[in-house]
Amino acid sequence: MNLIHRVGAINQLNEDTFLMTIEAPEIAATGKPGQFVNVKCGGTDAYLRRPFSLCRIDRERGTFDIGVQIRGRGTEALSRFCENNPIDIIGPLGNGFSLNREDRRIAVVGGGIGVFPLLQLLREHPASEKLTLLGFRNRNQVVLEQSFQKESNEIAIATDDGSYGARGFVTALLERKLEERPIDRVFICGPTPMMKHAVEICKAKSIPCEVSLEERMGCGIGACLVCACKVRLSDDWDYAHVCKDGPVFSGESVVFQE
C-alpha cells in the first residue's frame, strides 16, 4: 500500500477551515462515505497522525477532499501544506455509513466539523428524498452550503446565535422536520451533546439512526485503545474501537459520555 500521495489543491472555506484535495487513486477507488483517513500532519512531531473523514470523492480523477478545521498542533501543521506537496496518508479506514436501497427518505444532521462526512453520503446514497440539516456556531462558520444544497431535496441551517438560518441548535430543526414528514433513516455527525440529543429524538419517533463518532485517536487501526467508546450489547455493555468497529455505529448502540 502506497502511503505517500500528493496535495492537489487547497481551498479556504473560512478563516480557520479549509478543503484539501488529495491525489490518491487507490483511496478514491475504494473509499466509502463515512470512512476516514489518518494523515501524517508533520510539524514538530514527525509521527503525528490525525483522522479526517472522506468529504468528497472524485473516483474518475482519483482524488478525494478532506475538510479541516484548525484546532491544535496537528491541524495547524496540516494548514501549512501547499499544492503539490507529498502527504503521508493511511486509509481508507473504518466502516462507513449504510447505503440501503430500502431507505427511500433520509435525513442527515451535521454540526460543525461533523458536516464533512455527510456530503459524500448524500452523493452516494440511493434515496430519492434527502433532507439536510446543518448546525454551526455562527454565520462565519457556515461551510459548503452550496455543495450540500446540490445533493439534497431540502436543506435547512441553524446557527447558535441566529446570525444565519434558524436561531438555535440543529436538533430543534430535526425535531420539527420529523413532525412534518416520514423519514426512514437519520445519519448524524457532530459534537457529542448534539449527537446524544439527536439520537434521543430519533428513538422517540422509532426512526433508526446512525452516528459517526469523532473520538480522539492514536493509531487509527485498532492497536492502541485510545479511541474506546461504550456500546450496548443485548443486556450488557462493552468497549468498541471507534477506528476499527466504527466510526459509524447505530445510534441505539452508543452509550454517550459527555
Ligand X SMILES: Cc1cc2nc3c(=O)[nH]c(=O)nc-3n(C[C@H](O)[C@H](O)[C@H](O)COP(=O)(O)OP(=O)(O)OC[C@H]3O[C@@H](n4cnc5c(N)ncnc54)[C@H](O)[C@@H]3O)c2cc1C
Give the interface with ligand FES as residue ranges (CB under 6 A). Answer: 217-220, 222-227, 241, 243
Taken as a whole, the chain contains a residue count of: 258
Residue 69 binds which of ligand FES, ligand X, none (CB < 5-8 A, kind-dependent): ligand X
By C-beta, is 5 or 241 nearer to ligand FES?
A: 241
For the segment 153-182, give every residue that binds ligand X (CB under 6 A). Answer: none
* Residue of 203, 182, 180, 183 lying closest to 254 (CA atoms): 203
DSSP state of 191: -
For the segment 238-257, give every residue that binds ligand X (CB under 6 A). Answer: 247
| Contact track, ligand X, 205-244, x by CB under 6 A | ---------xxxx---------------------------
Amino acid making up residue 94? G
Residue 67 binds which of ligand X, ligand FES, none (CB < 5-8 A, kind-dependent): ligand X
* DSSP codes, 134-148: EEESSGGG---HHHH
By C-beta, is 6 or 73 nearer to ligand FES?
A: 73
Instruction: Candidates 18, 64, 81, 116: give the one binding ligand X (CB under 6 A).
Output: 116
- Close Cβ partners of 181 (under 8 Å, ≥ 6 residues apart): 105, 131
Residue 165 binds which of ligand FES, ligand X, none (CB < 5-8 A, kind-dependent): none
The answer to the question of residue 145 lying near ligand X (CB under 6 A) is: no
* Cβ 180 to ligand X shortest distance, Å: 30
Taking the chain, what is the end-to-end CA distance rounded to the nearest angstrom? 37
For the segment 41-100, give every residue that binds ligand X (CB under 6 A). Answer: 50-53, 66-69, 71-75
- For 64-99, give one letter per residue: b (16+ CB within 10 A) or e: bbbbbbeeeebbebbbebeeeeebebbbbbbbbbbe
